[in-house]
Chains A and B, each alone.
Chain A
């Protein structure tokens, strides 16, 4: 399997293990939407450090994951974008608007803790 998805408390952690085909990216999208509902997760971390390329298709898929998860009550944080990949994404002018990014897993969890706490306060 090219993506390992673990549960940590109310969060899902998806670690991409190798470069993905478009089909595998789409499968990841569907699987995360599914798992968020099944486990009532409040947050998702996607580790993309293994991706050598983030092109328009992958960027669109990440955006879709973020927006779909949000509709199901979960926030998403992307971690591990490689420096060269970041440069390529900017030069490409990919639309990165809804993406929240952290440098590593610890930062991502901290950010999710903050985000989901904020939700609870807004809601209650």
Chain B
């Protein structure tokens, strides 16, 4: 199984790297289309939040492989000023600095699980997961083999 990947985030150019790493890991794990694109897009949003609101932080991509599921956990962590109203940041109509209101709810819709923790002392951590059942993967591989 693939190892954990860490991408330090300090400038907008690091978003490009984080997106590419996320897509590569999703493809390595065997996610079917369009999942690698959904994952890369969600990563782009949470990584941008780091650049815009905290200045620096990191993205950790953690693959997992259980008995019946496989997937990737994306952790976006910063030690910035924190998000004052977390519920508001996850609403579509919230117009925080740098367009917070659009990025996070959008990222949440692209992933299967999404969790946001934030306070002024420790900063912000977004943890989001995309996963698939293993037998679904086996079925898709079988379909692909038959088509080929």
A-B pairs under 8 A by CB, number:
72
B37 to A56, Cβ gap below 8 A? no
Q: Which residues does chain A contribute within 8 Å of B20, judged by CB atoms?
A: 19, 52
CB distance from A12 to the nearest CB of B (A): 25
On chain B, the residues within 8 Å of A91 by CB distance are 38, 109-110
A93 touches B109 (CB 8 A): yes
Query: Does B12 contact A92, Cβ atoms closer than 8 Å?
Result: no
The main secondary structure of chain B at its interface with chain A is helix
- B residues with CB within 8 A of A: 12-13, 15-16, 19-20, 23, 33-34, 36-38, 40-41, 44-45, 48, 92, 99, 102-103, 105-107, 109-110
Cα distance, A55 to B107, chains bound together (Å): 9
Q: How large is the interface on A (under 10, 10 to 19, 20 to 34, 35 or more residues)?
A: 20 to 34
Give, as a whole number of angstroms, the nearest-CB distance from B68 to chain A: 25
Question: Within 8 Å of chain B (Cβ to Cβ): is A103?
Answer: no
**Chain A CB within 10 A, most for which of B48, B99, B106, B110:** B106
Chain A residues whose CB sits within 8 angstroms of the CB of B103 once the complex forms: 55-57
Bound complex: CA A88 to CA B107 (Å): 10
Asked if B15 and A22 sit within 8 Å, CB to CB, the answer is yes
A94 within 8 A of B: yes
Shortest C-beta distance, A61 to chain B (Å), equals 11
A-B CB proximity, top 6 nearest: A84-B34, A84-B37, A22-B12, A92-B106, A55-B44, A56-B102
New A-B pairs, 18, CB < 8 Å, besides A55-B48, A92-B109:
A22-B12, A52-B19, A53-B44, A55-B41, A55-B44, A55-B103, A55-B106, A56-B99, A56-B102, A57-B99, A84-B34, A84-B37, A85-B37, A88-B37, A88-B41, A91-B109, A93-B106, A94-B102
Q: How far is the CA of A92 from the CA of B42 in the complex (A)?
A: 9
